[in-house]
């Protein structure tokens, strides 16, 4: 005859399961908190012949170049993509 196990202390079981769940959630969310990296910016002086497209190719290592150019325009309050030699632009550094 096979004997079945009967849970005798359901309260203790619930507390232990709750603690294990809480520990698991803390470990998951702690890993996400440390993986955040603050954005880095650099100020670049433009030279004759520089374009936003060339700057994007140089400093953007990931993602779409068009969205990077849009981000540069937003950071520098630019209405168009026209730039002049001697201007200084804030450039986000993407690694």
pLDDT tens digits for 66-78?
A: 999 999 999 999 9
SS3 call for 84: coil
Q: Which domain, by its residues, includes 71?
A: 40-93
pLDDT in tens, 20-66: 999 998 888 776 656 667 788 999 999 998 999 998 888 888 888 99
Let me know if residue 89 belongs to a domain: yes
pTM: 0.59
pLDDT at residue 61, as a whole number: 83
Let me know if residue 10 belongs to a domain: no
Let me know if residue 6 belongs to a domain: no
Pairing of strands 88-93, 40-45: antiparallel
SS3 call for 58: helix
> What is the number of residues in the chain?
95
The rounded Cα 91 to chain-centroid distance in angstroms is: 17
Q: What CATH number is attached to the domain comprising 82?
A: 3.10.350.10
Domain count for the chain? 1
């Amino acid at each position: 005859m096979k004997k079945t196990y009967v849970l005798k202390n359901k309260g203790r079981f619930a507390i232990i399961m709750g603690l294990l769940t809480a520990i698991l959630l803390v470990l998951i969310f702690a890993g996400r908190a440390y993986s955040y990296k603050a954005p880095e910016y650099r100020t670049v002086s433009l030279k004759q012949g520089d374009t936003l497209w060339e700057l994007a190719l140089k400093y953007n290592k990931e993602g779409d170049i068009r969205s990077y150019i849009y981000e540069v325009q937003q950071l520098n309050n630019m209405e168009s993509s026209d730039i002049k030699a001697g201007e200084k632009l804030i450039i986000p550094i993407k690694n």
